[in-house]
Structure 1
Amino acid sequence: MTSTRPARWPVDPQIRRLLEQSAGAPGLHQIPLADARARVSAIRGLLPPAPPVHSVRDRVLPRAGGVVPFRTYLPTPSSRRGTILYFHGGGWTLGGIEDSDGYCRHLAVASGHRVISVGYRLAPEHPYPAALDDARAALEWVARECPGDSIVLGGDSAGGNLATVTTLYAGDQGLPVTGQVLIYPVVDTDDSRDSFAEFGGPGLLMTEADMAWFWDNYAPDPAVRSRAEISPLHAPDLRRSPSTLLVVAEHDILRDGALEYAAMLATHGVEVRIKRYPNMIHGFAPLIGLVDDADDALTEVADYCRDALARR
């Protein structure tokens, strides 16, 4: 995430002002890991307060060798049935429950449904398949704890990757996932697409070099990166995928991969809705209250989740 030429692209003026504030900063891949994590966490300080919810509860899910922390948000005492299971972004390397707290509060209130945010293990300390194992464990727990309820999986960036590969797992296991929300997701390692050439250099919030660093952290063995549980665009069969909402930012290196994945889902008979934001960049979705399109995207996601969770 480096920003040296904020006026190069016709981005939204609200986004441009944010880029100007970070102009000249080194990329995430160029600074110590602790500093990169602190930079992502600092974004919370820019955001207006999130709306109150009825209750917030921190819990842990036992797993082999440890636990998976998660946070549950109930918007009202009589929240609608059905759960949104959310995975934060950050290249499988950055972010966490605290960093996605505001977004999850907004989503719970806007949708009227329970939201569970998963604190999956981060790379490079815990490379693949740690995050995926935690995501699967969280889904299995929700399915056990709330029998008969529908589940929507969602996430942004690397969290979108975890959401969709866990959805593929749900289809194989017969788990009750009725929708998925993929916000500018990572779908494979291909950096030869036009969007990488257009937006991979310095100036926006994620560069090609940052993405390469994330891959090296999460899947240091290049031989495994083509597996469908890492690169869902390589999945041979997507027919058991549920309806899908894809949120796409125009000025994003991941744009073309996300659109290709949407086309592949549709080819396999999956109902796909694409919401494309022509003046947005990677990472805009949590900027609710600062960027109008982030507010709009929240409404799109919440409306979709209500519809998907009404399915049984």
Structure 2
Amino acid sequence: MPVNAKIKYFLDKMKEIPQMPLDKVSPEDYRKRENRGLDFQQPKEQVHDVEDKLLSLDGRDLPIRIYTPEGLAPYPALVFFHGGGWVIGSLESHDSICRTLANTSGCKVISVGYRLAPENKFPAAVNDAYDSLVRIASEHKEYEIDPARIAVGGDSAGGNLAAVACIMSKERRGPSIIHQLLIYPSTGYEEEPPSMQENGEGYLLTGEIMQWFRSHYFNRDEEINDPYASPILYHDLSGLPPASIFTAEYDPLRDVGKAYAEKLRASGVPVFYKNYSGLIHGYANFAPVVPEAKMALEEAALELHHAVTNIK
């Protein structure tokens, strides 16, 4: 299937804009560009209640945004980590995504503003993801959530953090996680898959941009082989929470997410996997303006709803 027509129009317009070489672009410049793009977002879904707070962890406070849908407490919960290559992204950049996830899944969504690189390099974001999960689970009464129905999730780099948080929780006998929702996740690879070459140019996320993100996130190149950076390299994925993994046809990370789904299944973990034809990396951010992207995001939310309501 060709690239979705509305997304192709966006990509074609992007090509018309002169781009500064990435080696001349600082993280601050990239974030400012992202913030300017947010000014043009479409109207967002209304959610019953949206509240900003600070989550106090050892030595730092993280901003969080809590989305409470219609319903009665205690709610099932999704602790959500935004994408952005661990360098960009924010509570605001993924606000529309979290609104859809909350309304469609019935979960109270708690979006975590973890520390970004290069100001805070690996494994700062990993520690923030796990520590925030632990703190939220321990304070479940305050958040009016059901401790037996806590899921984690995220897109792209946020999917990476969600997957690693599950591994850390298994290792450390931390909070019980009912489900992991991974949307086009960056989970690492043992051998570079075909999608990296097939989709490495022209579809928003490029091989060059991924290398730029890695250069700012990692202290040393070898850290990419750490299982907390590439969870597919973890030695024993058995016993992890059931997963829903979603990928896109024109995404360099397409085969990465598929390989992680296959390795989880081979380790005995129940997995729902779906690849969306015609879509690109980051499609969830297109949901307000691209019906096919909205349907894909809502399907992810429905899988989450089934996971937190069909408890055996």
TM-score w.r.t. length of structure 2: 0.91
CA gap 1:188/1:29 in 2 versus in 1, 3 angstroms? farther
| Residue 81 (structure 1) aligned with residue 80 (structure 2) | no
Deviation of 1:255 (Å): 0.9
The answer for unaligned runs of 5 or more in structure 1 is 1-8
Deviation of 1:235 (Å): 0.7
Deviation of 1:157 (Å): 0.5
CA distance in 2, matches of 1:64, 1:291: 41
Identity of aligned residues (%): 37
Deviation of 1:16 (Å): 0.5
- 8 Å CA contact 1:80–1:112 kept in 2: the answer is no
- Name the SS of the counterpart of 1:151 in structure 2: strand
CA gap 1:197/1:148 in 2 versus in 1, 3 angstroms? closer
Deviation of 1:192 (Å): 2.9
| Residue 119 (structure 1) aligned with residue 107 (structure 2) | no
- Name the counterpart of 1:274: 273
- Name the SS of the counterpart of 1:186 in structure 2: coil
- 8 Å CA contact 1:41–1:95 kept in 2: the answer is no
Compare 40-49 and 250-259 and name the one that shifted more. Answer: 40-49
CA distance in 1, matches of 2:165, 2:237: 12
Compare 294-303 and 266-275 and name the one that shifted more. Answer: 294-303
- 8 Å CA contact 1:121–1:130 kept in 2: the answer is yes
- Name the counterpart of 1:168: 167
Match runs of 1:194-209 below 5 Å:
194-201=194-201, 203-209=202-208
- Name the SS of the counterpart of 2:225 in structure 1: coil
Compare 145-154 and 132-141 and name the one that shifted more. Answer: 145-154
CA distance in 2, matches of 1:70, 1:102: 15
CA distance in 1, matches of 2:23, 2:245: 27
- 8 Å CA contact 1:90–1:158 kept in 2: the answer is yes
CA distance in 2, matches of 1:171, 1:306: 23
- Name the counterpart of 2:183: 183
The residue type paired with residue 13 of structure 2 is: Q
CA gap 1:197/1:89 in 2 versus in 1, 3 angstroms? same
CA distance in 2, matches of 1:262, 1:16: 28
Deviation of 1:87 (Å): 0.5
- Name the counterpart of 2:143: none
TM-score w.r.t. length of structure 1: 0.91
CA distance in 2, matches of 1:281, 1:94: 18
C-alpha distance after superposition, 1:89-133 (max 9, x if no partner): 000000111111111112111112200000000001100111111
| Residue 22 (structure 1) aligned with residue 14 (structure 2) | yes
- Name the SS of the counterpart of 2:185 in structure 1: coil
- 8 Å CA contact 1:79–1:113 kept in 2: the answer is no
- Name the SS of the counterpart of 2:92 in structure 1: coil
CA distance in 1, matches of 2:2, 2:29: 30
- Name the counterpart of 2:224: 225
- Name the counterpart of 1:47: 41
CA distance in 2, matches of 1:156, 1:82: 20
What is the aligned length?
303
Deviation of 1:47 (Å): 3.1
CA gap 1:262/1:101 in 2 versus in 1, 3 angstroms? same
Deviation of 1:80 (Å): 6.1
Deviation of 1:230 (Å): 0.9
CA distance in 2, matches of 1:265, 1:18: 35
C-alpha distance after superposition, 1:244-265 (max 9, x if no partner): 1111011111111111111100
The answer for unaligned runs of 5 or more in structure 2 is 141-145
Match runs of 1:1-312 below 5 Å:
10-25=2-17, 26=19, 30-76=24-70, 78=72, 81-146=75-140, 148-172=147-171, 173-188=173-188, 192-201=192-201, 203-310=202-309, 311=311
- 8 Å CA contact 2:91–2:112 kept in 1: the answer is yes
Deviation of 1:149 (Å): 3.2
- 8 Å CA contact 2:134–2:174 kept in 1: the answer is no
- Name the SS of the counterpart of 1:115 in structure 2: strand
